[in-house]
Amino acid sequence: MIDIDLIQRAIYSWVFGISGLAAIWENQNAPAPKTDYISLSLLSMVDVGHDAWAPVNPNKMSRILSDKTIDVRIQCFSNNAIAILESIGSLSKLPDVSFIFHAAGITLLQKGKVQELTGLDTNDRFQKRAVMDTTFLLTTISDEIDLSTIEGVEINGIIKIGEDTVRELQILNVSVEGIIPIEHILEGSITPE
């Protein structure tokens, strides 16, 4: 299971630890700070590649290993916004920061360039602002999954293979390691009576 709270705390610790500014996650039910601050936004979480199965242990248990990328936008609202974001980005490889990321199961893959976004705020005042997009890699490991042998299968319903209705089905000598989708073993469909 992915612990989003732990990931958010790790990113918050990195940003706050280097900038010293209050950091908030976007779309929270609270007003923006009145002083300089940083806004964090989780933009997306996307599967990368294919899941991998860990080797089956003697108890017929396995785990699924999965990689995801997490895109996070960091916006700074300050007269020194560009310098602050440059500092956050350049100090991302400090041992303390790496330790925090590792504890949350993430690695900083990419930090984008810092872009100035100075403009008017909601009160029509000129506000210095800059943004930096980042991409993290998250590797998840599932809980153990039981891959024991299936002793038997009971089907209640009608089995159709093509246009034919099959009243009796016999599968002989099927030996499977891992999980195989039924459509790889049986062509056709199973429908309730």
Q: Where are the domains of the chain?
A: 4-145, 150-193
pLDDT of 173 reads 46
DSSP of 41-89: EEEEEEEEEEEEEPPPPTTSEE-EEEEEEEEEEEEEESTTHHHHHHHHH
134 has pLDDT over 90:
yes
- pTM value is 0.69
**Reported confidence tier of residue 69, pLDDT bands at 50, 70, 90:** very high
- As given in the structure block, the two tokens for residue 184 are 């790889």
Q: Give me the architecture of the 4-145 domain, per CATH.
A: 2-Layer Sandwich (3.30)
Q: Which residue has the higher pLDDT, 159 or 98?
A: 98
Integer Cα distance of 74 and 163 in angstroms = 57
pLDDT of 149 reads 58
Mind listing the pLDDT tens digit for each residue in 16-46? 999 999 889 987 777 777 889 999 999 999 9
